[in-house]
Structure 1
Amino acid sequence: MDGFAFDREGLRLAIALGIGLLLGAERERHKGEGPTRGAAGIRTFALVALAGGIAMAVGGGVVLAAALGFVALAVLAAYVLGDRTDPGLTTEVAVVVAFLLGALAQREPQLAAGLAVVVTILLAARERLHQLVSRALTEQEVHDGLLFAGAALVVLPLVPDERIGPYGVFNPFAIWRLVVIVMAIGGAGYVAVRLLGARVGLPLSGLAAGFVSSSATIAAMGAKARATPGLRTPAVAAAVFSTVATVVQMVVVVGATDRRTLGELWPAMALAGVAAVAYGAVFGLRALRDEAADHHEPGGRAFEPKTAVVFASTVTVILFVSAALNDWLGSRGVLISAAVAGFADTHSAAIAVAGLAAAGRLEPADAVVPILSAFSTNSVTKMVLAAATGGKGFAAEVWPGVIATAALAWAGWGLGG
């Protein structure tokens, strides 16, 4: 047991030393030479991180606090007596971080090692980060980034996670999480346009974001098309490609829940996928030919809080109406329940129905109609969001693809049956 403990503690101290060497190697490259060279290099960082690890391993909190105080005083002295032509505090702060990471490695070695890599990347990317913030990003984009960080990292953890109100459908945490998701999808599309151009960036981001939420993607792309009419074609392609993701994800979740149900559902999803891919390809090719789209700066804001709030509000209303209908109609079987649930999320409804089949409470063949009902009602939600966020023009181009996907899903079921 003692040997095991020694080996474990020795390994964690070795991790602390490795953290110091990693940070110190990066700082050594920026240390300089001669009388103006920096005070801390690879040896200093290695010793400081190891000291943090030893302090935590030997004495716990009291020794750690004393050692941290000594390191802080040494860093302060080095800063006061050092080269004043560079007033930055990066190296000095990094020394303290190295000490704390060395101490953290004694409790959470994996977390400490991961954080050390992140810190090293931040230190090494100094010039690129400065150029990004001061030159590449506009003041509005920086403001929007801070707004999103506040919504995701400050507000979201503070929002209560409990159901309140009529029918218990209003969950502040779940609603605000939807706001964050829509803002993130819109931001991803904005970045994709900046990096890849609208012709390629928007359709790719729409396909990827569709695996998170196709409805949210359609809302975000509708807002983008409204803000910048010149980007409507690639935005429509992104919206329709998000429906491709819905079909793929449906196949995956149903197959993971009950393969027999997937066997019955497969013809419907195959035709639905063909419809979504074909319609998306039409607008994808139109977007690729629209060279003017790449000359349009992404309009609006990087993160659209208004669109996100509209989406979350719409979903909340749909949930409330669905719950009221369910309460009014009563429990009349799987079909009504799945159709009502599909307004909010088609995949959760499909999983629930496939789960009944897997448990033997429903025949796989009988699970197809409830799943397709949820798929269809979710299509209605997408159409409502397309009109609400993108306007008549955007909706007129998105609706045929959504309708065709749902219609061919039912056609596939009819042919398969």
Structure 2
Amino acid sequence: MLDLNVFYRLAAAIGIGLIIGMQREHTYSDKDDRHPAGVRTFTLVALVGAISALLSDQMQGLAPFVTGFIVVGMLLMASHISFAIGHRPQEGRPVVSSDGITTSVAVLMVYLLGAVCWYGRLLEACVIVVVMLWVLMAKDQLHSFAQKLSKEDILATVKFAVISALILPFLPNQAFGPPGLEVLNPHTIWLFVVFISGIGFVGYVLIKLVGPGKGIWLTGLLGGLASSTALTLNLAGRSRENEDYASDFTLGIVLSWAVMYVRLYLICIFLSGALAKPLVLPLLLPVVPALGYALFLKIKEVRNHRQKSADFTNPFKLLPAIKFGLVFTAVMFVANAARVYLGSGALLACSFLGGAAEMDAVAFSVIDMNLKSGLGVHELVLALLFASLANTLTKGALVCFLGAKSMRRPIIPAVVLICAVTGALIAFYMGN
């Protein structure tokens, strides 16, 4: 019988070869230049990759696939040798510049993607193609970014790789502590350290790409999606060494606070769709003053037009991240101790203590109690409000104590506005 699935996979491989081939063809500035491959070659190589994988599948061996890969590689090598011989300086013709081995590597990648298509991993193949197209098309931007990096930046990258890829996997992912208080998990604690350092690292990359002003508030938006507490700690600490950008740091921090409420609301309704309506007011109303004040800070910054230093220090500071990781652990331990020893009657106190460290943990806990233990929606809302109040106060204190002096005055109105709205909501729910 005719198996249409076979033709579907081969067609996917052909499509990938066409897309990559057209992109490479478009980069050839001179039509008389010789290059290792064009749109036709890319298409055929993708098809060869899929067919060689098909033959390997039928023969239950890797020989056809490996042979095809070697043949394609040898053809590319022959093409480069022929190109070099045909453009010798003594022939009186200028040496035509090419794109090095980028196209050849792309050909080999397309061969492998053809095989990926044959094995039915079409989504993975599409993702890889998108990444390939971005890398191939962003040549100037990537080279420019690489030239902007200093030795300290590269060293910071190595350090971040060490703490995330070499240390984290070897830490025990097991909770320790007294009975009922098993919250001291080395893997989780170090993950939070990596998280804080990672926010700073990503933010620094954004700053290098789009400039300090835009990079900082983009970091605030992205950091708010991950952890506004970690983002606040990182930006506040960096402001001491980059005080010219204190106003930008303040804007980024306030934006992260606003995004935190939106993220928390989405998490809650994902865990329990029935909470979508009851949590609109308590979790989304504080976003209004946060975004309003962020807009005020931006307008004020635009009007000032203050000259800033072009230098921006590298963000990688491991010791502050470790210190905050320990503080985070201590607060979580105290919050869980209050929950265990004071009982469910101390829910608001426990939520307040837990929110001082991280809102997500409180949200997960109270929603779990709502689904499994019959905790009322009214009590759940109050618990989240008390947690968010403590969280805002904690982050404001972090900015005041760890940030540059010039950040203290502008951050206080943000804390007051958000806490005022949260306090009014607490009074409203406690009165009903």
Name which of structure 1's ranges 87-96 and 47-56 shifts more when overlaid on structure 2: 87-96
- Corresponding residue number in structure 2 for 1:98: 110
- Corresponding residue number in structure 1 for 2:184: 170
Change (3 A) 1:340 1:65: same
1:234 correspondence with 2:231: no
How many equivalent pairs are there? 410
Amino acid at match of 1:80: I
Q: Is the 1:16–1:102 contact (alpha carbons within 8 Å) kept by the matching residues of 2?
A: yes
After superposition, residues 116-265 of structure 1 pair within 5 angstroms as 116-134=129-147, 136-148=148-160, 151-152=163-164, 154-155=165-166, 158-160=169-171, 162-166=173-177, 167-191=181-205, 193=207, 198=212, 201-255=215-269
> Quick one: percent identity of the two aligned structures?
26
After superposition, residues 349-388 of structure 1 pair within 5 angstroms as 349-357=362-370, 361-387=374-400
How far apart, in 2, do the equivalents of 1:263 and 1:74 lie?
64
How far apart, in 2, do the equivalents of 1:216 and 1:231 lie?
19
- Corresponding residue number in structure 2 for 1:49: 46
Q: Which runs of 5+ in 1 are unaligned?
A: none
- Corresponding residue number in structure 1 for 2:305: 291
Amino acid at match of 2:174: R
Give the secondary structure class of the aligned counterpart of 1:215. helix
Change (3 A) 1:156 1:51: farther
- Corresponding residue number in structure 2 for 1:346: 359
CA displacement, residues 218-264 of structure 1 (integer Å, 9 cap, x when unaligned)? 11210221111111122122212222223333444445556776666
Give the secondary structure class of the aligned counterpart of 1:299. coil
Query: CA offset at residue 361 of structure 1?
Result: 1.3
Q: Which runs of 5+ in 2 are unaligned?
A: 86-94
Q: Is the 2:174–2:187 contact (alpha carbons within 8 Å) kept by the matching residues of 1?
A: no
How far apart, in 2, do the equivalents of 1:169 and 1:388 lie?
27
Amino acid at match of 2:254: V
- Corresponding residue number in structure 1 for 2:64: 63
The normalised TM-score by structure 1 is 0.83
CA displacement, residues 79-108 of structure 1 (integer Å, 9 cap, x when unaligned)? 334326669322332222221111111121
How far apart, in 2, do the equivalents of 1:128 and 1:305 lie?
29
Name which of structure 1's ranges 358-367 and 92-101 shifts more when overlaid on structure 2: 358-367
Q: CA RMSD in A?
A: 3.4
How far apart, in 2, do the equivalents of 1:262 and 1:30 lie?
50
The normalised TM-score by structure 2 is 0.80
CA displacement, residues 184-210 of structure 1 (integer Å, 9 cap, x when unaligned)? 433454455556655555345424421
Change (3 A) 1:259 1:413: farther
1:413 correspondence with 2:426: yes
How far apart, in 1, do the equivalents of 2:258 and 2:245 lie?
20
Change (3 A) 1:111 1:268: closer
1:322 pairs with one of 299, 319, 335: 335
Q: Is the 2:258–2:291 contact (alpha carbons within 8 Å) kept by the matching residues of 1?
A: yes
Change (3 A) 1:271 1:49: closer
Amino acid at match of 1:215: T
How far apart, in 1, do the equivalents of 2:24 and 2:286 lie?
55
